[in-house]
Amino acid sequence: MWVYEKKLQIPVRVCGPNPRLASYIITQYGGPEGELGASLRYLNMRYSMPTNKAKGILTDIGTEELAHMEIVATLVHKLLEGASVEQIKAAGWGSHYADHDKALWWENAAGVPWVAAYVSATGDPVADLQENLAAEAKARAVYENLIRLSDDPEATNVLRWLREREVVHFQRFGETLMDIQEYTKQKKYY
């Protein structure tokens, strides 16, 4: 069960229309290291985790990632707000406009659609938690790329905050991995 809260996790501001930046940031909506993949990866993995702690952290981080997807969506939505078709075309995002107008869609920065193959689930808790550590590190790296690409200081603030969350999640997954390794030793799985 999920309950919606009618607020963002943090306030999202932008300096004005900026379709080019929107076309880059969309990758954190539906790209390989984006927030859709992150939330689905963690929420899906809960069912094959052997400990309550691991089920807890996956539920909570998976839920926070849904809130991050909403933040990224808001960024893209606001960066397109007030942008003319001419501006969108000049920014190189006419290809998005052709199919979607200003609607959001799960795609990477090159327009490639989200696929479930971005997410892995092996059923092996150690392998899966290591996948999550890699996912957080890669998402952090992509936010750093976006921060370097950004020419909107307000959007950059939001990207920096999202980057920091990847660092915290990496830490929590690392602790969970250590806990799972202890657990598997006790059970003599190996």
Partner 1 sequence: MAQYQLLMQIMQLEFAALELNLFLDTHPDCQEALAQYNKIHQELMQCKHAYEQTYGPLCNFGFSPNTGNYWKWVETPWPWEIKY
Binding partner 1 by CB under 8 A: which of 74, 108, 132, 150?
74
Radius of gyration of the chain (CA): 18
Q: How far apart are CA 85 and CA 2, in angstroms?
A: 37
Of 57 and 118, nearer to partner 1 (C-beta) is 57
Q: Which of the stretches 1-9, 17-25, 84-92, 108-116 binds partner 1 when contact is defined by CB under 8 A?
A: 1-9
Task: Enter the DSSP assignment of 118.
Answer: G
Binding partner 1 by CB under 8 A: which of 12, 25, 45, 66?
12
> Which tokens go with 22?
């929107």
User: 35 among the known binding-site residues?
Assistant: yes
Q: How far apart are CA 6 and CA 135, in angstroms?
A: 28
Q: How far apart are CA 141 and CA 127, in angstroms?
A: 21
What is the closest distance, in whole angstroms, from the C-beta atom of residue 25 to partner 1 in the complex? 14
CA distances from 154 to 28, 48, 65, 92 (A): 17, 40, 21, 22
Asked if residue 146 lies in contact with residue 61, where contact means CB atoms within 8 angstroms, the answer is no
What is the closest distance, in whole angstroms, from the C-beta atom of residue 45 to partner 1 in the complex? 14
Binding partner 1 by CB under 8 A: which of 22, 26, 73, 142?
73
Task: Enter the DSSP assignment of 32.
Answer: T
Binding partner 1 by CB under 8 A: which of 32, 44, 46, 77?
77
Rule CB under 8 A: which of 37-66 touch partner 1?
Answer: 53, 56-57, 60-61, 64
User: 96 among the known binding-site residues?
Assistant: no
Q: How far apart are CA 171 and CA 133, in angstroms?
A: 8
User: 65 among the known binding-site residues?
Assistant: yes
Residues in the interface with partner 1 (CB under 8 A) total 28
Closest CA to 34 of 88, 77, 71: 71
Residues within the annotated binding site for Mn(2+)? Answer: 35, 65, 68, 136, 169
Which residues of the chain form contacts with partner 1 (CB under 8 A)?
A: 3-13, 53, 56-57, 60-61, 64, 70, 73-74, 77-78, 168-169, 172, 175-176, 179
Residues within the annotated binding site? Answer: 35, 60, 65, 68, 136, 169
Residues within the annotated binding site for Ca(2+)? Answer: 60
